[in-house]
Amino acid sequence: MTLPAMDGREGRNRVTPHPMAIIWPCPLTPSSYAWAGKQIIVPSQVCSACQRPLSGWGGYWRWVRSEHRLEQRIWIRRGWCACCQHTQALLPSFLFAHRIDANVVIGSALEQAAAGSGTRPIAQRLELPHTTVRDWWRRVTATAPLLLAALLAYATSVDPAPVTLLMDGVAAVLEALAQACERTRQRLGTRLPDCWAFWSLISGGLALAPHTSPP
Ligand SMILES: [Zn+2]
């Protein structure tokens, strides 16, 4: 499954900076992924700058924190582009870039906060540090207009019908995400990952990047 990038640019000749990571559609749970260790198989990927195939270039260990605060070490493969002379980390789609928590956990916290719950009780329910949940919420709140614009543009690029939003703020961002995911599912007629993995895939993992502008 290949999803277009959220900026909609495609083709070999486009000029893009070299991202540090590529998100690939991973059907595994974090636990299944961790269980595979260094034997994890990553489908062939292409360079996000020049679209040429990447070759294997080792990898590195990192941590992922899943539901119920389960922390596991996972092997992240790297790809090498001989043309661009760059390596790129190949992150499974259950992650956002620069975040240790699986995106389904982050998404659950965002849904609860958007529905009006405070970040402290959310953190208690998810067994997470309050500062972590507060950071996610602040990040998505600060970038909500940009995130919303990008998701609406994506949704209408898949299906030009107007997107109806009933809420505002972060809740509207999540509405737009659901619409973009559903329209893509209908158009591709295929099985898509959950909407959080979908968001990571179309944003190159940067939807909630802590120190970069959202795409
Ligand atoms: Zn390249």
CA of 8 to the centre of ligand 1 (A): 18
What distance in angstroms lies between residue 81's CA and the mean position of ligand 1's atoms?
Answer: 5
Q: How confident is the model at residue 97 (pLDDT cuts 50, 70, 90)?
A: very high
Cα(143) to centroid(ligand 1), Å = 29
| Averaged pLDDT, 113-142 | 96
Q: What is the pTM of this model?
A: 0.87
Tokens linked to 60:
């590195």
What is the Å distance from ligand 1's center to 121 Cα? 45
CA of 102 to the centre of ligand 1 (A): 28
What percent of the chain is predicted at pLDDT more than 70? 88
Going from the Cα of 146 to the center of ligand 1, the distance in angstroms, rounded, reads: 28
For the stretch 74-92, pLDDT in tens is: 999 999 999 999 999 999 9
Q: Could you tell me the CA-to-CA distances from 92 to 27, 34, 114, 122, 201 in Å, in that order?
A: 9, 11, 26, 25, 9
pLDDT classification of 208: cutoffs 50, 70, 90:
confident
